[in-house]
Amino acid sequence: MGNAGLLGFMNISIVLLVIGFTVLLFMVQFELGPLSRLSTGRKWLMTLVLGSGMVAFSIKLVIIFTLLRFPEQTIRAHINMQSSQSLVQWERRNQITPVPVAVGMQKAYVWQALPEVAPAPLWNPTTPEKVALGERLFHDKALSIDRTVSCSSCHDVRKGAGEDHRRTSLGIGGQRGGRNAPTVWNAAFQSVLFWDGRAPSLEEQSKGPPLNPVEMGMPSLQAVEQRVRENESYREPFARAFGAGQVITITQIAAAIAAYERTLITPDAPYDRFVRGDDKALSAAQLRGMELFQSVGCVLCHSGPNFSGASLFDPSPSPQRLFPVFPERKYVGRYRLTRDAGANVPGSKQGIWRIPSLRNVALTAPYLHNGSVDNLAEVVRIMATAQRGKRLGNDIEGAKFIVWSRQNRTISRIESVPLSDRDVDDIVAFLKSLSSEMLAARSRAGTL
């Protein structure tokens, strides 16, 4: 019932009141008055006293009746509507564009499982012969100048999770490199390789380490070809993989290693089982972590089935990102995050880095390009603050900021609930669901 209903009800009440008063007047003047032989003045006084009693009683009835007919919610809703209308008028008067409400307007993020086969370039199809040859080359120390280091020295794929568990790698003569060895597992899905994304393919990438003076120290690619050619036992496998009667080339060596690496994939993580339909594959904490991974915005960079915007799945125009975006002094100092500029111009405060895949990340400590962080929860805290500008803390009420944009002349309220210790633990739990069951079993057996 709106205003009109209320007015009609008041009109009827007033009419009834007037009639009642008139009846009372007649009763006192012509019935009660003559009976009790009152004077004219007294008669009027009595009418007034009885009349006011009747008015008071009617008012009481009207109030009770109104409260019954207009329940609380109706009155509240009415007030709210009025105030929001006046807010709109205020906004118009002050030429303020209301901030659109984002809820329900954003496209939902779709989670994907890892394919069972890695794509290969047309000129280098993955054949069993090439894979077998590549596996042998990957483990051959003859590819280094002093025959002490193979690819697997730093990327242990037989006993380890495809890396070396060192902060930075050890190459020939015990020389220490400047960066952490990433895992080669699932590198086959990345569109660009190395921490800074400088290699465009696995084939190109594999020509790098043999020539790196700290890693394998070969003087030239011809020297690498020579090493393989002089080992007679390679002739037959090369003939099987590339056809008989050819001279072994660096292109073939690189092609075979790349073909082998395309078989180093792990589509067997609990996360993949979950996305493929096994509802029980993730725990409650992992599910909470999965939601946080999305709502905190980790998916803005670590997206798609390989958890990297730098993967072959959605060839992003920017596989590299600033890191740290928000240079949090505490972390930048403690972990020397800006000492290495990545793909950036040297001397810049912030580096540019390829977005790494997060598959098997729980098995590949230490973390980041310089291997400076041992603990996965700490990396999550660094990422949340440095990449998303999140605050950390256990105050779940959060903070409300009023943000006035002078440029757009818009005002809005941002509610930034800080990331609690439990949230961090849940994200870590989710990241653990990206670990291959096969590699995790090795880890439990203590070989990792």
Can you read off the two tokens belonging to residue 165? 């568990």
For 29, 281, 338, 344, 411, the CA distances from 332, given in Å and listed in that order, are: 98, 37, 7, 17, 33
Residue whose C-alpha is closest to residue 427's, from 397, 387, 399, 398:
387
The site string for ligand HEC over 388-417 (x = CB under 6 A, - otherwise) reads: x-----------------------------
For residue 36, the one-letter residue type is S
For ligand HEC, which residue of 131, 157, 358, 440 counts as binding (CB under 6 A)? 358
Interface region with ligand HEC, contact rule CB under 6 A, candidates 29-37, 52-60, 294-302, 407-415: 294-302
For ligand HEC, which residue of 227, 302, 359, 432 counts as binding (CB under 6 A)? 302
321: Cβ–Cβ under 8 A, 6 or more apart, which residues?
A: 301, 309, 352, 353, 355, 387
Interface region with ligand HEC, contact rule CB under 6 A, candidates 16-24, 73-81, 174-182, 399-407: 174-182
Q: In angstroms, how far is the first alpha carbon of the chain from the final one?
A: 73
d(CA 1, CA 75) in angstroms, rounded, equals 10
* Min dist. Cβ of residue 254 to ligand HEC (A): 9
For ligand HEC, which residue of 210, 267, 304, 305 counts as binding (CB under 6 A)? 210
Q: DSSP secondary structure string, 248-279?
A: --HHHHHHHHHHHHTT-----SHHHHHHTT-G
Using left for φ > 0, alpha for ψ between -120 and 50, and beta otherwise, residue 402 falls in beta
* Min dist. Cβ of residue 315 to ligand HEC (A): 16
CA 83 to chain centre: 37
SS3 readout for 10-26: HHHHHHHHHHHHHHHHH
The residue (of 28 and 145) whose beta carbon lies closer to ligand HEC is 145
SS3 373: strand
215 noted as active-site residue = yes
The residue (of 181 and 282) whose beta carbon lies closer to ligand HEC is 181
254 binds ligand HEC (CB under 6 A): no
Contact 238, 255 (CB under 8 A): no
Interface region with ligand HEC, contact rule CB under 6 A, candidates 42-50, 176-184, 238-246, 401-409: 176-184
Can you read off the two tokens belonging to residue 298? 């980790």
310 binds ligand HEC (CB under 6 A): no
384 binds ligand HEC (CB under 6 A): yes
Interface region with ligand HEC, contact rule CB under 6 A, candidates 7-15, 68-76, 80-88, 189-197: 189-197
The site string for ligand HEC over 65-94 (x = CB under 6 A, - otherwise) reads: ------------------------------
367 binds ligand HEC (CB under 6 A): yes
SS3 206: coil
Provide φ and ψ at 268, rounded to 5°: -110, 30
For ligand HEC, which residue of 47, 124, 126, 169 counts as binding (CB under 6 A)? 169
User: Which of 135, 163, 215, 378 is the catalytic position?
Assistant: 215
* CB contact burial 52-90 (16+ within 10 A = b; e otherwise): eeeeeebeeebeeeeeeeeeeeeeeeeeeeeeeeeeeee
CA 273 to chain centre: 20
The residue (of 47 and 360) whose beta carbon lies closer to ligand HEC is 360
For ligand HEC, which residue of 24, 282, 379, 429 counts as binding (CB under 6 A)? 379
The site string for ligand HEC over 109-148 (x = CB under 6 A, - otherwise) reads: ----------------------------------x-----
* Min dist. Cβ of residue 217 to ligand HEC (A): 10
The site string for ligand HEC over 25-64 (x = CB under 6 A, - otherwise) reads: ----------------------------------------
For ligand HEC, which residue of 189, 195, 234, 271 counts as binding (CB under 6 A)? 195
d(CA 338, CA 271) in angstroms, rounded, equals 33
Q: How many residues bind ligand HEC (CB under 6 A)?
A: 51
The residue (of 115 and 208) whose beta carbon lies closer to ligand HEC is 208
Catalytic residues: 215
